[in-house]
Amino acid sequence: MLSDPSFTKSMASIAMVGWVLVVGVVVGTLAGRYLDGKLDSSPWLLLSGAAIGLTCGLLYIWKTVTRNAP
């Protein structure tokens, strides 16, 4: 089972899912915070950036799950 290439590929995709979600939210939040500082629109761009990052992460998860579904 562990030597099966499809199993290894599936496990790598699953491990990547968590990181993509976290990185998307963190990058979106940091970008929003930076833009809030520049444009004095606090906290709207921070919240928007976090929401966009979360949405992108969830879309990636959806694509990964549906692509690897039997």
- Other C-beta atoms closer than 10 Å to the C-beta of 68 total 12
The pair phi, psi for residue 22, each rounded to 5°, is -65, -45
For position 6, what pLDDT does the model report?
78
The pLDDT value recorded for residue 3 is: 73
pTM of the model: 0.77
If one compares 8 and 33, the residue with the highest pLDDT of the two is 33
Distance CA 68, CA 66 (A): 6
Structure tokens, 6: 């499809």
Q: Give pLDDT, residue 36.
A: 96
Q: Which residues contact 61 (CB under 8 A, 6 or more apart)?
A: 17, 20, 21
